[in-house]
Amino acid sequence: MAEHSNHHAEAAIPQTMQETGAEERDPESISLQQPLLKRNRTLSSTPLAMVGAKVSHIESLDYEINENDLFKHDWRSRSKVQVLQYVFLKWILACLVGLLTGIIATLINLAVENIAGYKLLAAVSFIEKERYLMGFIFIAGANLLLTAIASVLCVCFAPTAAGPGIPEIKAYLNGVDTPNMFGATTMIVKIFGSIGAVSAGLDLGKEGPLVHIGSCIASLLGQGGPDNYRIKWHWLRYFNNDRDRRDLITCGAASGVCAAFRAPVGGVLFALEEVATWWRSALLWRTFFSTAIVVVVLRAFIEICNSGECGLFGKGGLIMFDVSTVTVTYNAWDIIPVAVIGIIGGVLGSLYNYLLHKILRLYNLINQKGKVHKILLSLTVSLFTSGCLYGLPFLVECTPCDSSLSESACPTNEGSGNYKKFNCPDGHYNDLATLLLATNDDAVRNIFSTNTSTEYHPLSLLIFFVLYCILGLFTFGIAVPSGLFLPIILMGSAYGRLLGIAMQSYTSIDQGLFAVLGAASLMAGSMRMTVSLCVIFLELTNNLLLLPITMLVLLIAKTVGDSFNPSIYEIILHLKGLPFLEAHPEPWMRNLTVGELADAKPPVVTLRGIEKVDRIVEVLRNTTHNGFPVVEEGVVPPMGLAVGATVHGLILRAHLLQVLKKKWFLREKRRTEEWEVREKFTSVELAERERKIEEVAVTKDEMEMYVDLHPLTNRTPYTVMEGMSVAKAMVLFRQVGLRHLLVVPNYEASRVPPVVGILTRQDLIAYNILNAFPHLAKSAGREKGS
């Protein structure tokens, strides 16, 4: 990074750059060999950003409206019809996002249920013939194969497809553009990887991946297709900006949750509470529309599958874990067990966060060693999982079936259903096999089942709980698409049911409800959501009477969890080094002014309103900034007084590159007319972002020419005066959704530069500020420590 740090250091640059055009042509192939977060070196040239190993090199997004002359003209020239086109298309896109997410989610479900179902049936047939070893070899082999497919896809084609993807989406909606996150390759790998990983019986869910898939669909639709094969349809040009893409991706994330849990309102609320940074009423409505479409699609497929055409898939309707049949009766005393569930859930959840953080750091060390290590790690976890799932049921004793149950209900040997026979004699069932030798969804359904208080032995539940704690911790970090929801639900439901057995004599609450509440408490303890989790659980279990106690459990668990550590998504964001801008400034930020912050950075690089080409080339080659203040010198204002330099606005790197590429040069210093710029540039071209200075060829003659930057300059950048506290500047930065914030001087003298600094996202990250101003770290530490 050092060679890019300051353009003053190296003034000698090649005068013609035609020979440098061929470098780094294929960003896709490069990104696969480099570590994930180091591709773009934007924002890296500040000393603040260079301190600390956690700083990433990720682009920020332009949510600010770039009010330059061309934009104003473009806006004025839009007719009523075009505005209607835009609104109509926005709704069509929201509809398509819902439609495609619904279809893909159903296909994933179909594939998983059939692959996993037939695999389990085959294993059961080996067990029935008492060929136990063959059964193990078969199931372990199938799982290894499925894991290998998922892992190889992830490692070789799209490393960003590993993990849940939710933290990156959260960062994107905050304004951080993680590279290769929403591409077509990523989406395809995520779909097939998720099918493989979930059918392999690994302790992970398809929920997080579905959120990511929904967001990928939204992003691809918005830009008109994959990066290299975009539809150049002129209608879509309105959507080629970061603001509209943000809205679409929010719809995609909500659709993903909706498709995963069949919870339309829960999906909207999840997007609102956990994922989105900015929110408007109109967006709430559009998101709701997308999830409504998803539900319609899901219902249509369920209707089709209920007629038995979907193989092993097709049992159950829109509600996944229906517990509405149980009568919920509780009195004032039951508030005590409910509080206990919440408290223990909060403690367990934060403990899970803590341990997962440690294990992810360990896994990072292994994963850094190369692709083979990543794949081997996944295969090891798969083998361990297969061994435990298959072997542990042999340890418990068989239980005779309750005589009140019909013969077809107990024991069963089918794919789903309670009371699995496994290795037991007729009329007996193996309770641990009921939980372990099933798909994860079925396992949850079985453990949530109500009015079955004698079905599970405490010992079996304890084995299940401990096993899933271990699996949940060690499975998440491997290189396959993995969701966090289901592992936590599995753990939580086991813990809740165990607690239910322990408190059996003190309360009349059903054990199945204890399992539901346990799952909710662990979710709240780890993910720290409240309203969205509450609605998701409501929609999952279809029992409105549970609402008051669910709310209490969630609130208690979140409160307890928050007193120990941040939420799991925040931990992952931090681990990945994404520069996420928090909602609240730290208290010590009030003691620092933006002027002091700007002084700690290298001097700001400014351009003049009419600038020489070689200066522009020099600046672009030697800095990695994405915006440059345009300053006017010695202008005589209308009042006739001689004045110093004045800020004209801010110009973006992308626009400077367009100028160079289009060779929009002037022989002499003069202001251009509006029609000249309109003739040369379209707003579609200006919306393009990906271009490198190395690809631009400028001849020696052209270097001596001039460019009129005025028409392309954003004339209304947001500014703060240098005396503003960092805390208030950060509120402005985040609330308005900025990428660059100009710092202007308090004292207005003719020789003081009109811009004293420019602040970006990286400069406002607490970690970076504390590194540059260690004395603040002390006071921050004192406050935390005391």
Sign of CA dihedral 42, 47, 49, 55: positive
Structure tokens at 306: 């209920």
Residue 77: CB minimum distance to a second copy, A: 12
Residue 268: CB minimum distance to a second copy, A: 6
Q: Is 530 in the site for a second copy (CB under 8 A)?
A: yes
CA-to-CA distance for 538 and 522, rounded, in angstroms?
A: 16
**Exposure pattern of 241-276 as b/e (b: 16+ CB <10 Å)?**
bbebbbbbbbbbbbbbbbbbbbbbbbbbbbbbbbbb
Q: Which stretch binds a second copy (CB under 8 A): 128-136, 162-170, 199-207, 538-546?
A: 538-546
Residue of the chain from 136, 279, 564, 767 that contacts a second copy (CB under 8 A): 279
Residue 748: CB minimum distance to a second copy, A: 4
CA-based nearest residue to 623, from 636, 610, 643, 606? 606
CA-to-CA distance for 715 and 699, rounded, in angstroms?
A: 30
Quick one: 474 or 569, whose CB is closer to a second copy? 569
Q: Is 548 in the site for a second copy (CB under 8 A)?
A: yes
Per-residue x/- mask for a second copy, residues 440 to 459, rule CB under 8 A? --------------------
Q: What CA–CA distances, in Å, run from 501 to 457, 461, 496, 610?
A: 9, 10, 9, 78
Per-residue x/- mask for a second copy, residues 485 to 524, rule CB under 8 A? ----------------------------------------
Structure tokens at 423: 């290795």
Residue of the chain from 53, 642, 700, 774 that contacts a second copy (CB under 8 A): 642
Residue 453: CB minimum distance to a second copy, A: 25
Q: Which of residues 305-344 bind a second copy (CB under 8 A)?
A: 318-319, 324, 331-332
Residue of the chain from 3, 80, 505, 700 that contacts a second copy (CB under 8 A): 80
H runs (alpha helix) in 65-177: 69-77, 80-128, 132-157, 166-174
Alpha-carbon Rg for the chain in angstroms:
29
Q: Which of residues 158-217 bind a second copy (CB under 8 A)?
A: none
Residue of the chain from 538, 581, 607, 616 that contacts a second copy (CB under 8 A): 538
Q: Which stretch binds a second copy (CB under 8 A): 169-177, 242-250, 434-442, 635-643?
A: 635-643
Residue 202: CB minimum distance to a second copy, A: 31
CA-to-CA distance for 185 and 183, rounded, in angstroms?
A: 6
CA-to-CA distance for 540 and 159, rounded, in angstroms?
A: 32
Q: Is 96 in the site for a second copy (CB under 8 A)?
A: no
Q: How many residues does the chain have?
A: 786
CA-to-CA distance for 369 and 155, rounded, in angstroms?
A: 12
Q: Which of residues 380-419 bind a second copy (CB under 8 A)?
A: none
Residue 257: CB minimum distance to a second copy, A: 14
Residue 209: CB minimum distance to a second copy, A: 24
Per DSSP, 236 falls in state G
Q: Which stretch binds a second copy (CB under 8 A): 3-11, 547-555, 572-580, 757-765?
A: 547-555
Sign of CA dihedral 422, 424, 428, 430: negative
Furthest C-alpha separation in the chain: 103
Per-residue x/- mask for a second copy, residues 119 to 148, rule CB under 8 A? ------------------------------
Neighbouring C-alpha atoms within 13 Å toward the C-beta of 37: 19
Neighbouring C-alpha atoms within 13 Å toward the C-beta of 391: 10
Q: Which of residues 746-765 bind a second copy (CB under 8 A)?
A: 746-752, 754
Q: What backbone torsions phi and psi does residue 559 show, to the nearest 5 degrees?
A: -60, -45
Quick one: 308 or 785, whose CB is closer to a second copy? 785
Locus of tokens 């579905």: 210
CA-based nearest residue to 120, from 213, 200, 62? 200
Q: Confirm if 258 and 204 have CB atoms less than 8 A apart.
A: no
CA-based nearest residue to 112, from 313, 360, 303? 313
CA-based nearest residue to 154, from 177, 186, 178, 183? 186
Quick one: 138 or 261, whose CB is closer to a second copy? 261
Q: Is 299 in the site for a second copy (CB under 8 A)?
A: yes
Quick one: 41 or 280, whose CB is closer to a second copy? 280
Residue of the chain from 273, 596, 614, 694 that contacts a second copy (CB under 8 A): 273
CA-based nearest residue to 389, from 438, 338, 323, 321? 438
Quick one: 396 or 555, whose CB is closer to a second copy? 555
Q: Which stretch binds a second copy (CB under 8 A): 96-104, 435-443, 529-537, 663-671?
A: 529-537
Residue 282: CB minimum distance to a second copy, A: 8
Locus of tokens 């009477």: 545
Q: Is 641 in the site for a second copy (CB under 8 A)?
A: yes
Residue 242: CB minimum distance to a second copy, A: 15
Q: Which of residues 573-612 bind a second copy (CB under 8 A)?
A: 583, 587, 590-591
Structure tokens at 107: 């296909």
Quick one: 155 or 536, whose CB is closer to a second copy? 536
Dihedral Cα 297, 300, 301, 306, nearest 10 deg: 160
Q: Which of residues 212-271 bind a second copy (CB under 8 A)?
A: 264-265, 268-269
Residue 549: CB minimum distance to a second copy, A: 9
Q: Which stretch binds a second copy (CB under 8 A): 191-199, 283-291, 358-366, 379-387?
A: 283-291
Locus of tokens 């659709």: 255
Q: Confirm if 761 and 748 have CB atoms less than 8 A apart.
A: no
Residue of the chain from 41, 325, 544, 662 that contacts a second copy (CB under 8 A): 544
Residue of the chain from 635, 671, 679, 778 that contacts a second copy (CB under 8 A): 635
Q: Which stretch binds a second copy (CB under 8 A): 7-15, 43-51, 617-625, 631-639?
A: 631-639
Residue 46's Cβ-count burial label (10 Å; 0-12, 13-18, 19+) is: buried
Q: Is 75 in the site for a second copy (CB under 8 A)?
A: yes
Q: What backbone torsions phi and psi does residue 489 show, to the nearest 5 degrees?
A: -65, -40
- The residues, ordered by sequence, that sit 6+ positions from 38 with a Cβ below 8 Å of its Cβ are 56, 57
Residue of the chain from 41, 72, 361, 671 that contacts a second copy (CB under 8 A): 72
Structure tokens at 517: 């509440």
Q: Which of residues 688-747 bind a second copy (CB under 8 A)?
A: 715-716, 718-721, 723-725, 727-728, 731-732, 735-736, 744, 746-747
The letter for the amino acid at 121 is L
Residue of the chain from 32, 103, 148, 284 that contacts a second copy (CB under 8 A): 284
Binding-site size for a second copy (CB under 8 A) equals 86
Residue of the chain from 647, 705, 707, 712 that contacts a second copy (CB under 8 A): 647
